[in-house]
Amino acid sequence: MSDNYYCKYCGASSSSVTNLTGGMCPRHPNGSHRGHHAPYQGGKKSTYTCQFCGTTSSGIQNLTAGVCQGHPNGANKGHHEPML
């Protein structure tokens, strides 16, 4: 078992929360590398759904790569974020 934890902003994976949150996140909502990875607290899914707009993807990394029409900071002002 490894890479059990995923960043909800960018999909980066790590075997421990400590390692994950120790890294800077390229898709952090405050700006690229303006904050740390944050662990996704939902379980592993075959499909991830954006909590803001409902866009779906098969992986967190793919989902968060796209900009979100329904982002709370404004349309296309941030990336999709998976709901739990």
CB of 71 to Zn ion, least distance (A): 6
| Binder among 6, 12, 14, 82 for Zn ion (CB under 5 A) | 12
Q: What is the CA radius of gyration of the chain?
A: 12
Q: Is 5 in the site for Zn ion (CB under 5 A)?
A: no
Q: Are strands 13-14 and 56-57 parallel, antiparallel or unpaired?
A: unpaired
**What mask, x for binding Zn ion by CB under 5 A, covers residues 42 to 61?**
--------x-xx-x------
Count the residues of the shown chain that bind Zn ion, applying the rule CB under 5 A: 12
Please count the other Cβ atoms lying within 10 Å of the Cβ belonging to residue 54: 12
Interface with Zn ion by CB under 5 A: which residues?
7, 9-10, 12, 25, 37, 50, 52-53, 55, 68, 80
